[in-house]
Amino acid sequence: MKFREKIYSKLGKVPKGRVTTYKTLAHSLNSKVYRAVGTAMNKNPYGYPISSEAVRNRRSAIRGDSKRNSGFFLVPCHRVINVDGRVGGFASGTKKKIEMLKKEGVRVVKGRVDLDKYFYELK
């Protein structure tokens, strides 16, 4: 399994209403390449659809390798934040990321999430 696929698989374990960090996600895979985790989030072909165009793009990305993607799943990349609680970037914009987190019950105040309350430790 490629490193990105391992990231997506591990991230799929973070439940709704909780967040993890780029650093925690990397460490859970015995890695220190936090930037690679961020890049994987940005290139996520299994992201939650935000528009009909996003759905079409995701379907065409998934069609490329039917064996690997036969168990279609969504990767909640919006649940990955910075180690200091800042929401961080998002391919569809930070505003959209905050909206998605709030919809799942995560409170975001001044662009930050309370890690003591919402952090999910990946093992």
pLDDT value for 108: 98
| Residue 123 domain-assigned (yes or no) | no
Tens of pLDDT along 26-85? 999 999 888 888 888 888 887 766 555 555 555 554 444 444 444 445 889 999 999 999
What's the number of domains the chain is made of? 1
> What CA–CA distance (Å, rounded) separates 81 from 66?
30
Please give the positions annotated as active site. 77
Query: In this structure, is residue 96 part of a structural domain?
Result: yes
Alpha carbon distances (Å) from 112 to 25, 34, 81, 106, 115: 18, 19, 9, 10, 9
DSSP label at residue 71: S
Residue 29: give the domain boundaries: 3-118
Confidence of residue 101 (pLDDT cuts 50, 70, 90): very high
The H or E element spanning position 81 is strand 80-81
* Mean pLDDT within 4-30: 94
Q: Which residue has the higher pLDDT, 44 or 88?
A: 88
Q: What is the pLDDT of residue 60?
A: 52
Residue 66 lies in a domain: yes
